[in-house]
Amino acid sequence: MRHGKKFNHLGRKTAHRKAMLANMACSLIEHKRINTTVAKAKALKQFVEPMITKSKEDTTHNRRIVMAKLRQKDAVTELFRDVAVKVGDRPGGYTRIIKLGNRLGDNADMAMIELVDYNELYNANKPQKKSTRRSRRGGSKPAAAAPVETTATNEEE
């Protein structure tokens, strides 16, 4: 029985799968988007998002954890220096998978996986985040309007 075994092995042994995901993660960090199959993109998303979360806090311990998974020093450096600064305020969801259709050779489902904050086409349409917040108690506008009405009624009498 295969109860609780949801991990996609991608048709590879453990060492081959870990090496492939590490190489794909380094390519994603370096190029900000890569084309691959949908299954590999989903596996890569689960592999790379925890490392991006770890890169938001630049400690020696986090660098060593990420280095053990990625195995490339320049990718780790770029992740902690450039990518972590750009995704600093995002609470998660650092990557986006866009399906591209089927590959001509073997009809495999293809997808593009990219870092969300590096795509200017999607980020240009969104308005900038407002710095003010609305309160649920009513705020200052109704309170300021109420005394004006009472003074107007007092002047009429």
* Domains, the chain, with CATH or none: 14-125 (3.90.1030.10)
- Radius of gyration of the chain, Cα coordinates, nearest whole angstrom: 25
Taking the complete model, does pTM exceed 0.85, yes or no?
no
Contacts of 36 (CB under 8 A, 6+ apart): 24, 44, 110, 111, 113
pLDDT score of 55: 96
Phi, psi for 28 (deg, rounded to 5): -65, -40
Contact 113, 93 (CB under 8 A): no
Could you tell me which residue, 145 or 22, shows the higher pLDDT? Answer: 22
Could you tell me which residue, 88 or 56, shows the higher pLDDT? Answer: 56
State pLDDT tens for residues 96-120. 999 999 999 999 999 999 999 998 8
